[in-house]
């Protein structure tokens, strides 16, 4: 790679089973979230993969604000 070429960081991608464990949901629910667009994913061959930043953003959007508790 030359110094003038853009550099991109490769982020690990999670399998749907990893997403299920993190969100404590079933596989069909994880797939529904991905299919509906609520949880962005990339297609790697015939497999769906979710980036960690996308999973964290989903959690931030769906976690109740606990201020004042």
pLDDT at 15 over 60: yes
Largest CA distance in the chain: 53
Q: The whole model's pTM is what?
A: 0.76
What are 36-59's pLDDT values in tens digits?
999 999 999 999 999 999 999 999
Three-state secondary structure call for residue 60: helix
Domain boundaries along the sequence of the chain: 13-61
Report CA dihedral (11, 32, 39, 48) to the nearest 10 degrees. 20
CA 49 to centroid of chain Cα atoms:
7
């Amino acid at each position: 790679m030359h110094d003038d070429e853009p550099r991109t960081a490769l982020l690990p991608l999670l399998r749907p089973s990893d997403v299920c464990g993190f969100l404590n949901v079933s596989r069909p629910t994880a797939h529904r979230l991905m299919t509906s667009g609520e949880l962005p994913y990339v297609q790697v061959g015939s497999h769906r993969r979710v980036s960690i930043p996308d999973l964290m953003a989903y959690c931030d959007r769906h976690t109740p604000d606990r201020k004042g508790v």
